Structure 1
Amino acid sequence: MSSCNNSIPQPSIFILAGIPGLESFHGWFSVPFFLVCLITVIGNVTILCITWIEKSLHEPMFLLLAMLSIVNLCLVSVTVPHMLATFWMNAKEISFNGCLTQMFFIPSFYVMESGILLAMAFDRFAAIWYPLRYTTILGNNMLVKMALAILARAVAVLTPAPILAKRLQSFQTPIITYSYCAYMAVVQIACEDISDHVVYGLMVIVASVGFDLFFIILSYGLILHAVFQIPSWDARGKALSTCGCHLCVISLFYSPVVFSVLAQILGYHMAPHMQIIIDNLYFLVPPMVNPLIYGARTKQMREWVLRILHCYGD
């Protein structure tokens, strides 16, 4: 990396390195990334179509699942195409404004997904604690308000990122050692005091993922408290089974973040290329696996998928 003694002014174009140190394997990396994108699109579009067609799925839980699928599709659409262009055609250049755009939208959709998972935890809490008033509590008006709140928080929390990055005037190098424009990756190559940027980055994590994870854990603590007050073991099992899909999705979504934070606290440093690969998986694996989990665990979804496969088989 260049020294700040030889700093350059704000470049009009950045160079995305992809996965530094593994450039010769970029062609191989493109194959799983493309397959992930393809499976994600097919899975989430299928969830949306089934939810739209099947009237019995017009319930809060499935409408929240449809919201999750929309965000998953948006997240993949702003990350994978440029990655594939980098890996397939060596198209590593990205304009400064294009970089700022990625810097806003990629984490915004990630924060929205986290917010939807919190909304789904509240959905399960309301269903188990207030079963008779469940549909009243989570009516269409409440779902719209929740969706708007999730969107507003993402915009409010992430809008400062491109604004702050735009103010950086000198850089060590125009090369970003990432496969997309991550805020901290851009900040770290700046030749200026970045302490305010680091504080802002931590505030984003706390105000989004940290906030959501705390209240998800709280919700499930209250859910377990309610479930274990049910005298019948069969009823307990049935109540917990309705949370199974959501718990799988939550574990998949938050475990890489928790692992990364713990690794930093314990002083474990990964090789740069491994860190970049794992960061890419933050954004790519959950959108692919979410519809597979809900499709496999939800009876109505399974029946529709089998019906569709049967039609194509004939």
Structure 2
Amino acid sequence: MTGQDNQSGSNSTDSDPSAFFLSGIPGLEAMHLWISIPFCSVFAVALLGNCTILYVIKTEPSLHKPMYYFLAMLAIIDLFLSATTMPKSLSIFWFNSREISFTACLVQMFFLHSLLSIESAVLLAMAFDRYVAICNPLRYATILTNSLIVKIGLVALSRAVLFVVPLPFHLRRLPFCQSHVISHCFCEHMAVVKLACANTRFSNIYGIIVSLLIVGVDLMFITLSYVKILKTVLSLASKEEQLKAFGTCVSHLCAILIFYTPVVLSSIVHRFGHQVAPHIHILLANFYLLFPPMMNPIVYGVKTKQIRIRVHLLFQGKSF
């Protein structure tokens, strides 16, 4: 795709565009090749790490427990989340392949925001798992049955679809009669909304409501779970018991911070940081998509003894 083709696409006057053009990282186009190196490295680590976690959980019978089933869900989501955005981003950086069809853009947007919603729900489910394990250990096996885990997964999927589907469907009805150039590496909802030459109040308000309902509600219940966990841990007799009980939560607490901190920070900067340079917005958005899929398998691999041992044996076996 040449610069002339991009310009002609951006000046199109069609109200229903056949294609959009992703700009990559505005202001840093000359550095795209260099930027692609850390992006590609993080993507490779995320793929390797999450595939390793899934393989270890699948092949080790002792890990066939609720906690690790939720971890497997998290790994699958992170794999799909990385695959949804990174191949197109790398094609922009390496081959200047900026064009994306209107339908493909909306599909990418749907999967991107749906997967983020599902990941938030899985982190909440993992908080519930830790709550039951510490506060009701004798009932753990009877509460967290396989059927309940499946139901939790289906509810998380249903919630994501119901909340996110209206976003692309509404955008499909809007006219895009001016620029078709999206100032982003991928089809993020608000980046596409800005191009519509119509009243976008519904999209803006609905997007904020969905974000608050998903992130706000999930974080509230996660916080409540850990308040109860903390009370139970502090009621234990010895320091050793307290540390052992709370130690089982460290990996999950790290995963929560890894996921929610960049999401909240990026959302605040995107909506209120009008003086912040555009490339900072884009880099932050990429950070919250790339960082959790890379870090989650590392955190659980280092902090979870059973996984750490199995991963060590796996790679030790490959070296011979």
**2:72: which partner in 1?**
66
Q: Which amino acid aligns with 2:142?
A: T
Q: Please give the alpha-carbon distance, in whole angstroms, between the structure 1 residues aligned to 2:228 and 2:91.
A: 47
**1:3: which partner in 2?**
none
Distance apart, 1:7 and its partner CA: 5.8
- The CA RMSD over aligned residues, in Å, is 1.8
Q: Which amino acid aligns with 1:303?
A: I
TM-score using structure 2 length: 0.93
Do residues 117 (structure 1) and 112 (structure 2) align?
A: no
For this pair of structures, how many residues does the alignment match? Answer: 311
Question: Are the equivalent residues in 2 in contact too, given 1:263–1:269 (CA < 8 A)?
Answer: no
Do residues 274 (structure 1) and 280 (structure 2) align?
A: yes
- Among 144, 164, 183, the residue aligned to 2:170: 164
Question: Are the equivalent residues in 1 in contact too, given 2:270–2:281 (CA < 8 A)?
Answer: no
Q: Spell out, residue by residue over 1:250-299, the C-alpha distance to the aligned partner (whole angstroms, 9 max, x if none).
A: 01111112334555787674211011011011111101110000001111
**2:260: which partner in 1?**
254
**2:9: which partner in 1?**
none
Question: Are the equivalent residues in 1 in contact too, given 2:266–2:285 (CA < 8 A)?
Answer: no
Change (3 A) 1:309 1:253: same
SS of residue matched to 1:14: strand
- Among 136, 139, 154, the residue aligned to 1:133: 139
Do residues 105 (structure 1) and 104 (structure 2) align?
A: no
Question: Are the equivalent residues in 1 in contact too, given 2:78–2:293 (CA < 8 A)?
Answer: yes
Q: Which amino acid aligns with 1:127?
A: A
Do residues 307 (structure 1) and 307 (structure 2) align?
A: no
**1:211: which partner in 2?**
217
Q: Please give the alpha-carbon distance, in whole angstroms, between the structure 1 residues aligned to 2:246 and 2:119.
A: 23
Q: Spell out, residue by residue over 1:170-203, the C-alpha distance to the aligned partner (whole angstroms, 9 max, x if none).
A: 3330100000011111111111111111111011
Q: Is there any run of 5+ residues in structure 2 with no aligned partner, and where?
A: 1-11
Question: Are the equivalent residues in 1 in contact too, given 2:266–2:284 (CA < 8 A)?
Answer: no
- Among 212, 229, 233, the residue aligned to 1:227: 233
Change (3 A) 1:261 1:186: closer
Q: Which amino acid aligns with 1:77?
A: A
Fraction of identical pairs, as percent: 46
- Among 26, 37, 52, the residue aligned to 1:31: 37
SS of residue matched to 1:270: coil
Do residues 77 (structure 1) and 83 (structure 2) align?
A: yes
Q: Which amino acid aligns with 1:65?
A: L
SS of residue matched to 2:20: strand
**2:294: which partner in 1?**
288
**2:6: which partner in 1?**
none
Question: Are the equivalent residues in 2 in contact too, given 1:8–1:173 (CA < 8 A)?
Answer: no
Q: Please give the alpha-carbon distance, in whole angstroms, between the structure 1 residues aligned to 2:240 and 2:212.
A: 38
Q: Which amino acid aligns with 1:150?
A: A
Do residues 54 (structure 1) and 60 (structure 2) align?
A: yes
Q: Which amino acid aligns with 1:136?
A: T
Question: Are the equivalent residues in 2 in contact too, given 1:48–1:69 (CA < 8 A)?
Answer: yes
Q: Please give the alpha-carbon distance, in whole angstroms, between the structure 1 residues aligned to 2:126 and 2:270.
A: 29
Distance apart, 1:206 and its partner CA: 1.3
Q: Which amino acid aligns with 1:161?
A: L
**1:144: which partner in 2?**
150
Q: Please give the alpha-carbon distance, in whole angstroms, between the structure 1 residues aligned to 2:233 and 2:246.
A: 7
Q: Which amino acid aligns with 1:235?
A: E
Q: Please give the alpha-carbon distance, in whole angstroms, between the structure 2 residues aligned to 1:309 and 1:7.
A: 56
Q: Please give the alpha-carbon distance, in whole angstroms, between the structure 2 residues aligned to 1:269 and 1:119.
A: 38
**2:180: which partner in 1?**
174
**2:197: which partner in 1?**
191
Q: Which amino acid aligns with 1:222?
A: K
TM-score using structure 1 length: 0.95
Q: Please give the alpha-carbon distance, in whole angstroms, between the structure 1 residues aligned to 2:249 and 2:176.
A: 50
Q: Spell out, residue by residue over 1:183-242, the C-alpha distance to the aligned partner (whole angstroms, 9 max, x if none).
A: 111111111111111111011101211111111111111111111111211111111000
Q: Please give the alpha-carbon distance, in whole angstroms, between the structure 2 residues aligned to 1:299 and 1:168.
A: 52
Q: Which amino acid aligns with 1:79?
A: T
Q: Please give the alpha-carbon distance, in whole angstroms, between the structure 2 residues aligned to 1:272 and 1:133.
A: 51
Q: Please give the alpha-carbon distance, in whole angstroms, between the structure 2 residues aligned to 1:53 and 1:241.
A: 25
Q: Please give the alpha-carbon distance, in whole angstroms, between the structure 1 residues aligned to 2:274 and 2:232.
A: 39
Q: Please give the alpha-carbon distance, in whole angstroms, between the structure 1 residues aligned to 2:205 and 2:292.
A: 27
Distance apart, 1:28 and its partner CA: 1.0
Q: Please give the alpha-carbon distance, in whole angstroms, between the structure 2 residues aligned to 1:232 and 1:295.
A: 28
**1:241: which partner in 2?**
247
